[in-house]
């Protein structure tokens, strides 16, 4: 993975952390969650995927998995891109015994392997056209450092 793109992904995570719930439309999980990153994995994954597509021309795939994590049934979403797992919300599971980074970009992850994959979708503008991910991405990009 290109190091400059990795830096941008870290920057996006930091921007999302600093938003207040009121900065988001109430149809996004960013607004409905109990606080980023909890419950925001789907929208965050879509946002990173759309960012990579629109600003770097890089295709990626949204992955959703389900499984038993530390005796608790969970679902989670992350991105597959150029052979890498990209996850900016895995640390939401740290309160149930994990020690995951805020931004995970790696080829293999035991944590992600523990989920049974339930859905794979190629990220596209068409796929996200009826969501509020584009306006959130616009807001995030307006705050990014060049």
* Cα–Cα distance for residue pair 85/112, rounded to 1 Å: 8
Task: Please give the chain's pLDDT, 146 residues, in tens.
Answer: 899 999 999 999 999 998 887 777 666 766 667 678 988 999 999 999 999 999 999 999 999 999 867 667 789 999 999 999 999 999 999 988 889 999 999 999 999 998 998 889 999 999 888 888 998 899 999 999 76
Residue 26 to residue 41: CA distance in whole angstroms: 16
pLDDT of residue 141: 95
Q: Is 56 helix (H, G, I), strand (E, B) or coil?
A: helix
How many alpha carbons fall within 13 Å on the CB side of residue 19?
A: 28
- What span, in angstroms and rounded, lies between the C-alpha atoms of 24 and 41? 15
Amino acid 1: pLDDT: 86
């Amino acid at each position: 993975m290109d190091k400059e793109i990795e830096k941008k992904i870290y920057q996006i995570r930091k921007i999302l952390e600093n938003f207040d719930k009121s900065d988001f439309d109430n149809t996004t999980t960013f607004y409905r969650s109990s606080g980023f990153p909890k419950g925001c994995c789907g929208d965050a994954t879509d946002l990173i995927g759309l960012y990579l597509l629109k600003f770097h021309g890089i295709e990626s795939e949204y992955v959703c998995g389900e499984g038993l994590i530390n005796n608790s049934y969970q679902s989670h979403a992350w991105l597959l891109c150029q052979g890498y797992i990209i996850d900016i919300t895995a640390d939401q599971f740290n309160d149930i015994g994990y020690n995951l980074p805020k931004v995970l970009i790696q080829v293999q992850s035991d944590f992600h392997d523990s989920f049974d994959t339930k859905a794979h979708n190629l990220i596209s503008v068409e796929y996200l056209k009826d969501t509020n991910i584009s306006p959130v991405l616009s807001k995030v990009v307006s705050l990014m450092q060049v």
